[in-house]
Amino acid sequence: MAETYTIAQLANEFGITPRAIRFYEDKNLLAPSRQGLNRIYSRRDRARLALILRGKRLGFRLDDIKEMLDLYDHGDGQIEQMQFTLDRSRDRVAELERQRRDVDDAIRELKDIVKMIERELVARRAAEKAA
């Protein structure tokens, strides 16, 4: 028998809400089967959810995540999927490196401001004591 999961089981396992899982369904990232009103998730759905959450954690857009997942079934031995993922991953690395440079610049600037204010406070306190 195929291993299946309920929405509550997946939500609990991945530390997300059932609402988040339904959102991914609405975006056609997951497609559980139904038994009456109940959603039944397969091992494939579980694996896709894990990849969706990983992609989000790495900062990929949902559209890109969907394309990465959909290309899995393209029938070319996942070559197109791997190339797409490689391209998007390189883009993401470049974007994160730009962000890191921006953060490093902001930190340097803030440290300079802190030093300037500290020096000014020391000077003003010394002047106040001398008066």
The verdict on residue 67 lying in a domain is no
61 and 24 Cβ atoms separated by less than 8 Å: no
* Claim to verify: residue 1 and residue 40 sit in the same structural domain: yes
The pTM assigned to this predicted structure is 0.80
For position 12, which CATH number holds? 1.10.1660.10
* Claim to verify: residue 55 and residue 109 sit in the same structural domain: no
* Claim to verify: residue 47 and residue 79 sit in the same structural domain: no
As a whole number, the mean pLDDT across the chain is 94
Are β-strands 33-35 and 4-5 bridged in parallel, bridged antiparallel, or unpaired?
unpaired
Domain range for 125: 74-131
The verdict on residue 97 lying in a domain is yes
* Claim to verify: residue 45 and residue 95 sit in the same structural domain: no
Q: What is the pLDDT of residues 68-90, one digit of tens each?
A: 999 987 778 789 999 999 999 99
